[in-house]
Structures are given as C-alpha cells and as structure tokens.
Amino acid sequence: MIYERFLRPLLFVLDPETAHHFALAFLRATKPLLPKATEKTSPVSAFELNFRHRIGLAAGLDKNGVALSAWEALGFSFVEIGTVTAQAQPGNPRPRIFRYPKERALINRLGFNNDGAETIANRLAELRDRGGWPGIPVGINIGKSRVMPIERAVEDYLFSFRKLRAQADYIALNVSSPNTPGLRELQGGQRLDELLRAINAERGNMPLLVKISPDLEPAALDEIVSVCEANNISGIIATNTTLDHSAIAHDEEGGLSGAPLQQKSTAIIRQITNKTKISIIGCGGILDVSSAREKIEAGAKLLQVYTGFIFRGPKLIHEIAGL
C-alpha cells in the first residue's frame, strides 16, 4: 500500500528507465531495511527445484544481477536475472521504455542491454564468496548478442552458458524477444533443435528452460513443444512480450507487457498444457489474484511478474503467494 500510494507516484514522475535504475540502486542500498518476506507459503517443486511459493521475478528487472538479496527480502520465491548476452552491449537508443498507466502496460525496446556474460559471472561469484547469495533459486536468462549473426547463434549461447552455469540454479534460453533483430527465428523447429542439442551436450543436470513468444501460431507452437520434448527441456516460460499493440492508443515500437498480454499468454499456456507435461512458468499480465489464478488453472506451475510488480509493488507478491 505504501508503494502504490507514495513510492509509485514518485517513481512515475521520473522517466521509466531513470526510475528503473533508481529503484535498483535503492534496493541495493536499503536491503537490510526492507520488510520481512511474506510468511505466506504454498510450496511447489518444478524441474527438481523447490520453491516457497509460485511467484518469481521475471527476467528484465535485474538484468545484471545487482540486487539478488533484495528480491528475496521483498518476498519473491525465485528470481531470474538477464537477459545476459555473451558480449556486453548498450542496447537500443533511449528512450526505450514507455508506461501506459491507464492500460496497466509497458512497452520496451531495450534490446538486451547488459554487462556481458563474463562480467556478470564474476559479479555473481563474488557475491556467493561474500556470503550474500539469496536462499531462493536463481535463474539466469541468456540471449544472442546483437552483433552475432543468426548463423553463429549457437556458439554465442554456448559461451554464455559456459560462463554462467556455475552460478545458476537453472538456465533459460531467450529466443523470443522482439527487440533483437532476427532472434525469433530461433523459435523455428530446426534452429531451435540445433541450439538445444548443442546446449544439451554440455548441460549435465542443469535445468534448461525456453522462453517463447505469445505471438506464435498454433502450428508453430506445437512444433516448439515437440522440439522441447525431444530435447528433454525442463520447462517453458510462457510468455515474452507481444508485438500486438492493438490495446494501446499511442503506440511505440517494442514489446508490450502488462494487462493487455494477459489473455494471449494464458492461451499459449493452455495450448502447451494440452500437448505436454513439461513444466510451465506463466508470465504475462499478472496484476492481481484473479489473473494469477487464471495462469495456474491454465496449467502454469510457477508464475513470474514484471510489469505487475512495477504497477503494484510488493503487495502483489503478498496477495498471490498463497495460491
């Protein structure tokens, strides 16, 4: 309630990206002062990991893994950092995040801005060595470097996987962001199969997930699920942001998240559930108990929030942690 009444109005005075960096800096500096994590628990297990409840932080908010302990303190049961690329990159030109409060939505075209796999791996190793590692599972989301041609995507992902696997409880392959040119080509059956086979050759017992688009046609989604099953993928994150901006009056280029994505992502979850037993992390348009329950009833075992957290703050986690 404090967040929605006082902190959010102050943050929303700032441009979205400045507010994002300010919030991360605040969390890093004030972690010892944060309220105790929610006592609500509804334990769940997925891909051989245990979670205090279903609600985790989606990739995108803490791209560089700078506030891991704060997310646990705020009540999340797991956190996914990234998207991390093999090479450090600045992302797309600013402005590149846009708020739509009336629609409870965001559009972003960040373009995988991050410090690069090696730097982030070193940062995480130092945090672990200092005893600051959180007591919740940490996933690392990896993607393709912008400068790397699609034909060399496999080696690019492998570089990041090798650098980061020692610090991850699971690895998620982002093949669905709309903000890196050509990336969604990796969702195609042959390209995805090639990528998954290469990672599998070095995967060992590491849980491996694939994050997919909400804009897939049914036949394309069925093909992705079949490829994931054939490669023993641990989980599917459904979904990334959408290129369908029909709910937004004043449009900007980029991926749309938040309330307008709710039904599209849930429909994808239902289709996956009807085809496979692979664990699903539901993501997209979760802003209250009702939208969270909808994802679970559609077949999601875990949930991730991003835009909902921007608009609702920690109260959202406390509301839905008991589901």
83 pLDDT band (50/70/90 cuts)? Answer: very high
Catalytic residue among 160, 177, 279, 291: 177
Q: In the prediction, which pLDDT does 303 show?
A: 98
Statement: residue 40 has pLDDT above 80: no
Average confidence (pLDDT) over 268-286: 98
Statement: residue 35 has pLDDT above 60: no
C-alpha distances (whole Å) from 301 to each of 28, 67, 169, 226, 237 are 30, 25, 17, 19, 10
Containing 51, the helix (H) or strand (E) segment is: strand 49-51
Q: In the prediction, which pLDDT does 28 show?
A: 86
Dist CA 316 CA 323 (whole Å): 12
33 pLDDT band (50/70/90 cuts)? Answer: low
Q: In the prediction, which pLDDT does 31 show?
A: 64
Dist CA 284 CA 265 (whole Å): 6
Number of structural domains the chain divides into: 1
Average confidence (pLDDT) over 68-96: 96
- Please confirm, yes or no, whether 177 is among the known catalytic residues: yes
38 pLDDT band (50/70/90 cuts)? Answer: low
34 pLDDT band (50/70/90 cuts)? Answer: low
Tokens 């297990």 correspond to: 45
**CATH number, domain with residue 80:** 3.20.20.70
Q: Which two tokens stand for residue 52?
A: 């205090």
Instruction: Residue 47: give the domain boundaries.
Output: 2-320
Q: Do residues 46 and 69 touch, judged by C-beta distance below 8 A?
A: no
82 pLDDT band (50/70/90 cuts)? Answer: very high
Dist CA 310 CA 106 (whole Å): 9
Dist CA 275 CA 222 (whole Å): 8
